[in-house]
Amino acid sequence: MDLDQQFALPRGLGGALVGALMARRHGPQIRACVADLAPAAGEHVLEIGFGPGLGLAVLAGAAADLLVAGVDPSEPMLTSARRRTRRLGSGVRERIELCQATADDLPWPDGTFDGVCATNSVQLWQPLDASLAEVRRVLRPGGRLAVSVLQQAVLHDGGSAGPHYDDVLLPALKEAGFTEVQSDWRPVGGSRALHVRAVSPQRA
């Protein structure tokens, strides 16, 4: 399996090594995405495509008494994230729930979450429209979505998101019914990342 495929869906020992690389490289971008989500004390929040689990740890420390859920389809990423979140203090790790799943089939009832975030995973969601509809379903009305994608983030079919990924993602979010869609490109680690915020509509 080549390196791009390992970034898209980490497998085996190679996947675990790629996960360690992600955790080293993506910290500033992940922290910015969590800051965009701005979780408030006591909220229930979900990270989709958590990879090695750094975002889960950042989320868990972002406000008091958060309930944090995460999904990722990759077995080695679940193992890495479980290891990372087990190291968090008692009283924090018990508030984190991890599931093996993809964005198009989220194992929670309608309106479960106040906020959803995803770093370098939305470009892998297949199909994108069904996945965004699923994210909207699990968000409560008025719930927030924050996503970030590196310009060089790997796509599911190879290649990279590229400098115009906003032309793909923003119309898809609007088509899925999200409102207050805002975006900007920010420099990070010698590259650029697209940051997008959106809100689930108050009424279906």
Give the three-class secondary structure for 168: helix
> Is 161 a binder of ligand SAM (CB under 6 A)?
no
**Considering only residues 32, 68, 124, 149, which one is a binding residue for ligand SAM as defined by CB under 6 A?**
124
**Least distance to ligand SAM, CB of residue 203, Å:** 27
Distance CA 128, CA 43 (A): 26
Residue nearest to ligand SAM (CB): 51
What is the distance of C-alpha 82 from the center of its chain? Answer: 16
User: Which residues touch 17 (CB under 8 Å, ≥6 apart)?
Assistant: none
d(CA 179, CA 200): 6
Pick the binder of ligand SAM from 74, 80, 85, 200 (CB under 6 A): 74
Let me know: does 71 contact 48? Beta carbons within 8 Å: yes
Nearest CB to ligand SAM, comparing residues 141 and 158: 158
Q: Tokens at residue 95, please?
A: 């508030």
- How open is the CA angle 130-7-78, to the nearest 5 degrees? 75
Query: With contact defined as beta carbons under 8 Å apart, do 29 and 150 qualify?
Result: yes
Q: How far is the CB of 38 from ligand SAM (least distance, A)?
A: 18
Q: Which is nearer to ligand SAM, 66 or 103 (CB)?
A: 103
**Size of residue set near ligand SAM by CB under 6 A:** 24
Closer residue to ligand SAM in complex, CB, 83/179: 83
- Restricted to residues 44-63, the positions that interact with ligand SAM (CB under 6 A) are 48-51, 55
Element (H, E) at 202: none
125 interacts with ligand SAM by CB under 6 A: yes
**Cis bond before residue 127 (omega within 30° of 0):** yes
> Does residue 14 touch ligand SAM according to CB under 6 A?
no
Residue position matching structure tokens 């420099």: 187
Stretch that binds ligand SAM, among 34-42, 58-66, 113-121, 189-197 (CB under 6 A): 113-121
Q: Summarize as ranges the residues that interact with ligand SAM (CB under 6 A).
A: 7-10, 22, 26, 30, 48-51, 55, 72-74, 77, 102-103, 119-121, 124-126
